[in-house]
Amino acid sequence: MEKNQLHKKRIVKHLYFSHMLSCAELSVKIHKSIPLTTKMLGKLLEEGWVVETGFAASTGGRRPVTYSLKQDVMYVVSVAMDQLVTRIAIMDMENRIVSGLVPFELQLTKNPNAPAALAEKINEMISSSGISKSNIAGVGIGMPGFVNAVKGINYSFLQTDGLSIAQYIAQRVNLPVFIDNDSRLIALAELKFGTARGKKNAMVVNVGWGIGLGMILEGELFRGHDGFAGEFSHIPLFLNHKLCSCGKSGCLETEASLLVVVEKADKGLKAGNVSMLKELPLGHPEQAFQLIVAAAGKGDKFAVEILSEAAYNIGRGVAILIHILNPETVILSGRGSAAGKIWQAPIQHALNEHCIPRLSVNTHVEISALGYTAELTGAAALVMENYEKDVIKNPPVSGSHFPVTGNW
């Protein structure tokens, strides 16, 4: 890739993550001189990628001009998967959904057709949006399981013969593809755009069909040696003899996942517990969970108790994290964050019981502001983190925009 084009890509990347920067700030971030950065900014302004957005706050001298990306200059395809449901959305440079976000059922377990079905759905989404692939930076995919983001492999789901998942999907959609574990992408979203922004050490708990974890250590997303860090769901905390999805028994997941919340709520209703809930659609766990959250939001005692029990058990796991890592913040994110502050009191109760006070006194439990959109935002951020890499070669595209994929 020609050097000037690489510098321009780096500017685009940093403006995406920072929203608004001055020339001097960009110069520091891309490690280039101010004259060269000014030249690159001038070209991006001419080509319609960047706009002036005003002046930075005064520091005593002349206020510097600030720059931002045009929100519609480029797009990212974001895919958020779990074991049961997949969501696909096309997002602009301000992480706003411009097309898609229609959830569809895609069973990952024992489904050899899942990779082909996913590629087909991505192509359908792009086609229906009317957005040219030349204006799409790439596809980011968050998924459960043991994911090695560097190799593009998921050792738990979506097996493809002879190719990594990233390669398989890239060949079928003709765009750069990047994958990572869903909980790590949720943590990435929180780090770049959410509650963890500006925090050095934070634990992001993904409350879903399992209990995932994304770790931010010293201001960076921590993936571990093989990319498997954060398997919070499978900490053995209970002597309940319940078989976990990992094949072991007594894992945190067996007492705190949203599937367990739905199952316990169903058993409680059948046992005669008084509630505004009458019957839960067990064949549609996502809908069932939404009904429980809605009832809890209206003050339903039974629904609050069911969620509080799961939250307390999550708190027991969080206590271990605090003892080992001493984070500044623990953020509850993902699908389960829809229950909001209902989680906080029972988690704090567990911390009061199971944490050494000196270790936990300065750790705050917070609810994500990104919520259920965090994984989609993280998938977009994954693409933009890798934006300057030359991962796919396409012929140049005519027009005022430089091609967003390949050598431009």
d(CA 382, CA 138): 10
User: What is the pLDDT, as a whole number, of residue 408?
Assistant: 26
Owner of token pair 């046992």: 271
d(CA 299, CA 296): 5
The partner residues of 91 in beta bridges, in order of sequence, read 76, 97
Q: Between 169 and 101, name the one with better pLDDT.
A: 169
Say whether pLDDT at 26 is over 70: yes
d(CA 165, CA 362): 41
User: What is the pLDDT, as a whole number, of residue 399?
Assistant: 32
User: What is the pLDDT, as a whole number, of residue 246?
Assistant: 84
Q: Between 100 and 31, name the one with better pLDDT.
A: 31
User: What is the pLDDT, as a whole number, of residue 143?
Assistant: 93
If 0-12 CB within 10 Å is exposed, 13-18 middle and 19+ buried, where does residue 161 land? exposed
Phi-psi region of 386 (alpha: psi -120 to 50; beta: other; left: phi over 0): alpha
Q: CB–CB of 339/293 below 8 Å?
A: yes
**Which of the four pLDDT bands, split at 50, 70 and 90, describes residue 379?**
very high
All domains of the chain, ordered by start, with CATH? 3-69 (1.10.10.10), 75-185+375-385 (3.30.420.40), 197-369 (3.30.420.40)
User: What is the pLDDT, as a whole number, of residue 61?
Assistant: 59
User: What is the pLDDT, as a whole number, of residue 1?
Assistant: 52
Secondary-structure breakdown of the chain: helix, strand, coil percentages, each rounded to the nearest 5: 45, 20, 40
Say whether pLDDT at 120 is over 50: yes
User: What is the pLDDT, as a whole number, of residue 156?
Assistant: 85
User: What is the pLDDT, as a whole number, of residue 95?
Assistant: 95
Q: Judging by DSSP bridges, how do beta strands 104-105 and 177-181 pair with one another?
A: unpaired
d(CA 5, CA 210): 42
Residues 22-45 have a mean pLDDT of 90
**Which of the four pLDDT bands, split at 50, 70 and 90, describes residue 160?**
confident
- CA proximity to 88, closest of 129, 143, 125, 133: 125
3-state class (DSSP) for residue 328: coil
d(CA 46, CA 50): 8
User: What is the pLDDT, as a whole number, of residue 228?
Assistant: 85
User: What is the pLDDT, as a whole number, of residue 162?
Assistant: 80
367 Cβ neighbours under 8 A, 6+ residues apart = 195, 331, 332, 337, 340, 341, 343, 344
User: What is the pLDDT, as a whole number, of residue 58?
Assistant: 60
d(CA 69, CA 15): 6
Residues 209-226 have a mean pLDDT of 92
User: What is the pLDDT, as a whole number, of residue 215?
Assistant: 95
C-alpha atoms less than 13 angstroms from C-alpha of 142 in its C-beta half-sphere: 30
Q: Per residue in 227-237, pLDDT tens?
A: 888 889 999 99
Q: Per residue in 101-114, pLDDT tens?
A: 878 888 888 888 99
Q: Per residue in 281-315, pLDDT tens?
A: 988 888 999 999 999 999 999 999 999 999 999 99
Say whether pLDDT at 394 is over 60: no
Residues 247-258 have a mean pLDDT of 92
Residues 66-74 have a mean pLDDT of 92
Q: Is the dihedral of CA 262, 263, 264, 265 positive or negative?
A: positive
Angle at CA of residue 307, ends 239 and 250, nearest 5°: 15
Say whether pLDDT at 214 is over 80: yes
User: What is the pLDDT, as a whole number, of residue 97?
Assistant: 94
Q: Per residue in 321-371, pLDDT tens?
A: 999 999 999 999 988 998 889 999 999 999 999 999 999 999 999 999 998
